[in-house]
Amino acid sequence: LKQQCGVELEPNQFYCSVCLDLLKDPVTIQCGHTYCRSCIEGCWDQEKEKGTYSCPQCRETFSPRPVLGRNNMLAEVVEKLKRTVTQQPRPASPLAPAGPTDIACDFCCGTRRNKASMSCLTCLASYCPAHLEPHHSFPVLKLHQLVSATVPLKEKMCTKHNKLMEVYCKTDQRCICYLCTMDDHRHHSTVSAAAERADKQRQEELNELVQAVKDFEVWK
């Protein structure tokens, strides 16, 4: 989509991150993110009991509940986009409701949240296949670090500093955050958690190879 000023706009930026469809009656909240009015209203309806209302993307909270105003300029652009761009239906993603032991998608609104397939260590959020799609489409989001959603993200967070535990302390043999390396673990031997995982995997593969050789010698 190219405006009269010659600036080329990426159609994906006019999609709502909740319903993943083109924005309908777009409203922009205080943090700057934009949603369909019905989508953000639905999300906030689920937060009435808490008394604080959050942005599904950046998690900034607001209290009292913000009054929503229509973003008329964006609505006009979206209407032009609908008329000038043939909308290709987005491929359906395999979705399943999150079970008691599953990691739930942080972006699904309502009581029935879908099972998350991946967690983003940059956003510190978990996503179902549908809400993960922007991470595969937007250049900035493609740089984020994704991992399988196998454990709750809070288990990857430092309980003292509330930061992601990306460092492995060899002295204490446990994962810590970068702030821990500046106080309690200042003089300890540390490596990145990723390097430690890779080292352990190589060691396991080596042990399996050694065991396979031993088994072969026994059966010779």
Amino acid at 198: A
Backbone phi, then psi, for 112, in 5-degree steps?
-100, 90
Q: What is the pLDDT of residue 15?
A: 81
Q: What is the pLDDT of residue 84?
A: 64
Instruction: With beta carbons less than 8 A apart as the criterion, state whether 114 and 96 touch.
Output: yes
Is the pTM of the predicted complex or chain greater than 0.75? no
Q: What is the pLDDT of residue 205?
A: 84
pLDDT in tens, the chain (220 residues): 444 444 445 555 688 888 877 889 999 999 888 999 998 998 898 888 888 998 888 888 998 999 999 999 888 888 877 776 555 555 455 678 888 889 999 888 766 788 999 999 888 899 998 888 888 878 888 888 898 898 899 899 999 998 989 899 999 999 999 999 998 998 999 998 878 878 888 888 888 888 887 777 777 6
Angle at 171 between CA 165 and CA 174, to 5 degrees: 30
Q: What is the pLDDT of residue 115?
A: 92
Backbone phi, then psi, for 126, in 5-degree steps?
-110, 145
Angle at 203 between CA 198 and CA 209, to 5 degrees: 130
Instruction: With beta carbons less than 8 A apart as the criterion, state whether 116 and 127 touch.
Output: yes
What domains sit in the chain, N to C, each tagged with a CATH number?
A: 1-86 (3.30.40.10), 103-156 (no CATH), 157-219 (3.30.160.60)
pLDDT digits (tens, 9 = 90+) for 160-219: 998 989 899 999 999 999 999 998 998 999 998 878 878 888 888 888 888 887 777 777
C-alpha distances out from residue 49 to 38, 53, 62, 183, Å: 19, 10, 14, 39
Instruction: With beta carbons less than 8 A apart as the criterion, state whether 91 and 20 touch.
Output: no
